[in-house]
Amino acid sequence: MGSSGQTEVEVGYRALGRLGLLVHPEGEISSSEWDTVLLEIKAHLPELRLMILCSDGRLTPTQRNAVTLLQQQHPFRIATFTDSPHTRGAMTALEWFGVQVDVFPTAELSLGLAKLGATTDEIRGVRMSMRQIQRDLSWRASSVRQLAIKSTKAKAG
């Protein structure tokens, strides 16, 4: 369990040129996973633009502080895609501390990637990497989960 009693989760991270993709399922990122992701992010600064696809993930106070400090040292853009009111609120709170983050509903992926200045190749890489990371984590966005449920029901019927 995480520091706030939340389940700790694995996350997926891929560097796609100057664009980083972080897939964060519901729950807190474990300390060891966070350390790995933070090292990856730091390796691509200051040119990094970070895209976060988040179900209902949470950062611990220590992790939020690390993001704030990192932004102060190396300002970089973050776009978070989520349908979770909790995550949207947490990202807004980070903005109060100077973190450069934009929050988009998951349906506005194209708009968010455009705001990050993603190239055509980066967008293609994001779409391919999202599928791979989700497979690696055995985590699916709700639309994919719903499709699987419908597919299972169709086979059973």
Tens-digit pLDDT profile for residues 98-156: 888 999 998 898 899 999 999 888 888 888 887 787 677 665 444 334 333 333 344 44
Q: Count the alpha carbons within 13 Å of 77 in the hemisphere toward its beta carbon.
A: 15
Mean pLDDT across the chain, nearest whole number? 79
Contact between 20 and 40 (Cβ < 8 Å): yes
Q: Where are the domains of the chain?
A: 8-156
Token pair of 107 as six digits: 């349906």
pLDDT band at 24, cuts 50/70/90?
A: confident
Pick 94 or 56 by higher pLDDT.
Answer: 94
| Mean pLDDT, range 3-30, rounded to an integer | 75
Mean pLDDT of 8-20: 79
47 CB-contact burial (10 Å; exposed 0-12 / middle 13-18 / buried 19+):
exposed
CATH class given for the domain over 8-156: alpha beta
Q: Give the global pTM.
A: 0.77
> How is the chain classified by DSSP, letter by letter?
--TTSPPEE--EEEEETTEEEEEE-SEEEPHHHHHHHHHHHHHTTTT-EEEEEESSEE--HHHHHHHHHHHHHS--EEEEE---HHHHHHHHHHHHTT--EEEE-GGGHHHHHHHHT--HHHHHHHHHHHHHHHHHHT---HHHHHHHHHHHHHHH-
Query: Which of 54, 64, 53 has its CA nearest to residue 16?
Result: 53
